[in-house]
Chains A and B, each alone.
Chain A
Amino acid sequence: MPYYIGDVIKDEKRLIARTPEKFRETGIDVRIDTRVEEIDPKARRVHLAGGETLPYDILVLGTGTKPILPGIPGEEREGVFTLKKLSDALRIKAWLKNVPCRKVIIVGAGFIGMEMSDVIRGLGIETQVFHRGTLPVHRWDPEFSKTVLAELERHQVGFVTGVEVRAVEEGKKYRLRLVTNRGEDEADMILIAVGIRPETELARRMGLPLGKNGAIRVNFSQRTPEEGVYAVGDCAESFHRVSRDWVNIPLGDIANKQGRVAGRNIGGGSAVFPGIVGSQCFKVFDLEVAATGLTEREAADSGFRPVSTLIWGNSIAGSMPGNKKLGLKLVADRATGKLLGAQAVGGAGAVSRINTLACALWSELTLDDLGWLDLAYSPPVASAWDPIHVAAQQLRRQI
């Protein structure tokens, strides 16, 4: 959706994988603009707003997430947005164009904040990110989030740290005024992107157990403990193959897979969702930022004895023009030498390294395996000693 807002994707229809009409053609009844009021698991009935009741043999909850709002006066004002639904994207795009917007403040420095700062700045609009902490994207180590910050600065995106938002008021020079602990700032649009949480209100009311992360508990076939009830996607837990714990990482690719698994089981087949390793990435301007597995802190919390190294290697042959340094951090278990996690930041190639390392986590490779892995090499696109080799061998020596 950020790329639709930034006009990289011109037509909103391209964001819709399958229309209600397409579903109906296959014999699936689709009710849009329809809210579920209540679910009665004893009677196996779903009560819709407007009074209609749907009986079920099998129920699936795919209720997604809801954006977290700071709960400050004025946050409902026109021009203050969150980005969750397609309708949000449509409204933001129209607002940016029609108001027209001269300046945007983004509150929050996570994935959405970074992607949106990229696309809004790309439209030539003055952009500022207001962040509670000191560095963007806390999933990454400070050395890498400093690289992200430098990329924002290189593209004239303002970054204001230590901000607590207090209120949104009517502006003078611009449409809106944002009051914070650091004073007052004005903009024509404010985007709130401070996080999301699983939407589990219906699940909770029907008595389904929730995990410590607030998501609906499921097993490997996406079944909840309630007979005949499944849950999939951002509202459900996933098994983390590295920490061996149930987690909630709300990402569309995971939702697709869990949905397919549940669908196959509902249709009488047999499928298992084998879990995740926590791979994620985003792009901000010319930088790819990616991670997989556990951070050192998470590894320690999961009972491992993590060791780590951080290197700046060559993404292509060092002798080639256009070679850019690629930052790679590996975390491994001192006891077994197995990889536990990785982070990468750089131009083209950071995501591909993380995808390689996601396979390593999936199949529990050790640093010895990674240090000698047969990776494709050619000077304009790869380095003979890939950053993966360099980091793995370096970290192996520390154990």
Chain B
Amino acid sequence: MGKQVVIVGAGAGGASVAAEAKRQDPSLEIVMVEERSQVSVAA
């Protein structure tokens, strides 16, 4: 099993982390947790 990555907050920062980390290493197990109903919103 790949490394477990938990990202708290899926705004511009968190969503960029998820996309880039997965691109870099597809074996990573990434969970992104967001308290709102949308992710990756342009403010």
- Main secondary structure on A side of the interface with B: mixed
A 253-278 contacts with B by CB, 8 A: 255-260, 262-264, 266-269
Chain B contact-residue range equals 35 or more
A268-291, CB under 8 A of B: which get 1 and which 0?
A: 110000000000000000000000
Contact among B16, B21, B24, B31 for A255, CB-based, below 8 A: B16
Q: A33-41, A136-144, A366-374: which one contacts chain B?
A: A33-41
Beta-carbon contact of B11 and A54 below 8 Å = no
Interface size class of A (residues with CB under 8 A): 35 or more
Q: How far is the CA of A234 from the CA of B24 in the complex (A)?
A: 24
Q: Determine which of B9, B24, B33, B40 lies in contact with A48 in the assembled complex, contact meaning CB atoms within 8 Å.
A: B33
Task: Give min CB distance, B4 to chain A, whole Å.
Answer: 5
Contact residues of B: prevailing secondary structure: mixed
Q: A58-B3, A60-B17 are in contact. Are A36 and B37 (CB under 8 A)?
A: no
Contact with B along A43-56 (1 / 0, CB 8 A): 00010100000111
**With A232-B13, A256-B16, A263-B17 as given contacts, are A36 and B3 in contact (CB-CB < 8 Å)?**
no
Contact of A259 among B14, B33, B37 (CB under 8 A): B14
Minimum Cβ distance to chain B for residue A170 (Å): 30
With A57-B5, A62-B7, A267-B20 known as contacts, the answer to whether A29 contacts B41 (CB < 8 A) is no
Residues of B within 8 A of A15 (CB): 41-42
Residues of A within 8 A of B43 (CB): 1, 252
Could you list 22 examples of A-B contacts with CB < 8 Å?
A1-B41, A17-B15, A23-B39, A26-B22, A30-B32, A31-B31, A46-B8, A57-B3, A60-B17, A61-B8, A63-B9, A64-B11, A87-B37, A233-B11, A258-B13, A259-B14, A259-B16, A259-B17, A260-B20, A263-B24, A266-B24, A266-B25
